[in-house]
Amino acid sequence: MQEHSIVKGADFQNLLGLGFSEIEAAQLVYMKEHVTEQVEYREIMQESRRLDFIRWLIEHDRIKK
């Protein structure tokens, strides 16, 4: 992975506080910001939201199992 410009933000500062180096923290922030660009990730998140909604419907007796 190539080096990314150092990001100054809450996530970056939190990662530094957890002991990550500046480069590691910048890479993790970059990955977090760009992971949603991946089609597979979006599809997994959509399916997860659908399942959460169905689970809520069942738990609140809106539909039967």
pLDDT at residue 1, as a whole number: 46
The pLDDT score that the predictor gives to residue 57 is 96
| Overall pTM surpassing 0.85 (yes/no) | no
The pLDDT value given to residue 2: 47
In this predicted model, what pLDDT tens digit does every residue of 2-60 receive, in sequence order?
444 445 799 999 999 999 999 999 999 998 888 878 888 889 999 999 999 999 999 99
Distances (CA, A) of 57 to 39, 47, 51, 53, 63: 27, 15, 10, 6, 6
Classify 41 in phi/psi space as left (phi over 0), alpha (psi -120 to 50) or beta: alpha
Please give the C-alpha separations between residue 6 and each of 11, 20, 29, 37, in angstroms, as whole numbers.
12, 13, 9, 20
